[in-house]
A = this chain, B = another copy of it.
Amino acid sequence: MAIGIISTLLAKSETILSSDHSSIVSMNICVALLCACIVIGHLLEESRWMNESITALAIGICTGIVILLTSGWKSSHILVFSEDLFFIYLLPPIIFNAGFQVKKKQFFRNFMTIMLFGAIGTLISFAIISAGAIHFFQKMNIGTLTIGDFLAIGSIFSATDSVCTLQVLNQDETPLLYSLVFGEGVVNDATSVVLFNAIQNFDLSNINSAICLQFVGNFLYLFISSTLLGVLTGLLSAYIIKKLYFGRHSTDREVALMILMAYLSYMLAELLDLSGILTVFFCGIVMSHYTWHNVTESSRVTTKHTFATLSFVAETFIFLYVGMDALDIEKWSVISDSPGTSVGVSSILLGLILVGRAAFVFPLSFISNLTKKNPNEKIHFKQQVTIWWAGLMRGAVSMALAYNQFTNSGHTQLRGNAMMITSTITVVLFSTVVFGLMTKPLVRILLPSPKHLSRMISSEPSTPKSFIVPLLGNGNETEGGDQSNRNVTRPTSLRMLLSTPSHTVHYYWRKFDDAFMRPVFGGRGFVPFVPGSPTDQNGHQWN
Contact = CB atoms under 8 A, between A and B. Distances in A.
A323 to B, nearest CB: 18
Interface stretch (A72-80, A163-171, A306-314): A306-314
A527 interface: yes
A253 B312 contact: yes
B534 A306 contact: no
A207 B305 CA distance: 55
A224 B487 CA distance: 71
Contacts of A292: none
Contact of A301 (B31, B257, B535): B535
B244 A43 contact: yes
A261 interface: yes
Contact of A21 (B31, B240, B270, B298): B270
Interface string A236-271: 000010001111111111011101110110011011
Contacts of A539: 247-248, 251, 296-298
A534 B532 contact: yes
A244 B530 contact: no
A319 to B, nearest CB: 14
A302 interface: yes
A38 interface: yes
Interface string A372-411: 0000000000000000000000000000000000000000
A240 B540 CA distance: 19
A259 to B, nearest CB: 7
A27 to B, nearest CB: 5
A542 B240 CA distance: 16
A20 B83 contact: yes
A305 B308 contact: no
* Chain B CB within 10 A, most for which of A84, A297, A533: A297
Nearest to A255: B309
Contacts of A9: 271
Contacts of A247: 539, 542
A19 to B, nearest CB: 10
Contacts of A34: 256, 260
A305 B313 contact: no
Interface in A21-37: 21, 23-25, 27-28, 31-32, 34-35
A299 interface: yes
B297 A535 contact: yes
Nearest to A302: B305
A42 interface: yes
A45 interface: yes
A296 B538 CA distance: 7
A17 to B, nearest CB: 14
Interface of A: 9, 12, 20-21, 23-25, 27-28, 31-32, 34-35, 38-39, 41-43, 45, 83-84, 88, 240, 244-253, 255-257, 259-261, 263-264, 267-268, 270-271, 296-299, 301-302, 305-306, 308-309, 312-313, 527-528, 530, 532-536, 538-543
- The 7 A-B residue pairs whose C-beta atoms are closest, nearest first, are A302-B305, A297-B538, A301-B301, A252-B309, A255-B309, A252-B308, A296-B539
